[in-house]
A and B are shown apart, each in its own frame.
Chain A
């Protein structure tokens, strides 16, 4: 398996634009997580899905953020409109079940100018 695949690796956008981050989890993994990492706040859990269903989105900072998982092999995180304070590295991770290893993608470095 190729591991968790995220795209794009880097995104630079202007304030106010819509940004869509994509993730393909490892086949057979039932849980998918979206995290945001910054120097100030560390690795924050934004939302997680189990069997394609959003379980907890309490970490999503504002209504400008939304996430979907239309099927077991694809998830998106959308920011609309984007703001400079959204600049961070966004990670997607998946795992087989509770207590098992979480596998991370290489992240998307987002810069909003």
Chain B
């Protein structure tokens, strides 16, 4: 059973379109992170959010942490083929860090 549920599992879009990936949990997290993983590599951190309602922007990526600190979303504007990858959310309390199953995003040129 995944502590963190991600949706959708797969997403295929055309270059220039927007997309949103969701991460939901029944647990409250002190912090939530988003990672991106490319084939043959380990996940790499994109952002950390810690405050309920927080919104962070990283170029074309917008991350939001829910008010109750149980859910988060990742929105990509004008997606590019370079955005293709596996997007993982991760939550932790104390020293533990657990990951969702991930959303595989494919951006077609």
A binds B: yes
Do the beta carbons of A43 and B95 come within 8 Å of each other?
A: no
Chain A residue, CB-CB nearest to B101 = A42
**Dominant secondary structure of chain B at its interface with chain A:** loop
Measured in the bound complex, the distance between the Cα atoms of B41 and A43 in whole Å is 13
Do the beta carbons of A106 and B42 come within 8 Å of each other?
A: yes
Measured in the bound complex, the distance between the Cα atoms of B95 and A51 in whole Å is 11
If the complex has contacts A42-B102, A45-B97, are A101 and B48 also in contact, measured as CB distance less than 8 A?
yes
Measured in the bound complex, the distance between the Cα atoms of B88 and A103 in whole Å is 14
Do the beta carbons of B92 and A98 come within 8 Å of each other?
A: yes
The chain B residues found within 8 Å of chain A, CB to CB, are 2, 30-31, 33, 35, 40-45, 48, 50, 88, 90, 92, 94-102
If the complex has contacts A98-B94, A99-B30, A99-B50, are A106 and B99 also in contact, measured as CB distance less than 8 A?
no
Chain A CB within 10 A, most for which of B42, B96, B98? B42
Measured in the bound complex, the distance between the Cα atoms of B100 and A42 in whole Å is 7
Residue numbers in B under 8 Å from A55 (CB-CB):
95-96
Measured in the bound complex, the distance between the Cα atoms of B30 and A104 in whole Å is 21
If the complex has contacts A31-B95, A50-B95, are A102 and B90 also in contact, measured as CB distance less than 8 A?
yes
Residue numbers in B under 8 Å from A104 (CB-CB):
41-44
Do the beta carbons of B42 and A48 come within 8 Å of each other?
A: no
Measured in the bound complex, the distance between the Cα atoms of B41 and A33 in whole Å is 16
Measured in the bound complex, the distance between the Cα atoms of B32 and A102 in whole Å is 12
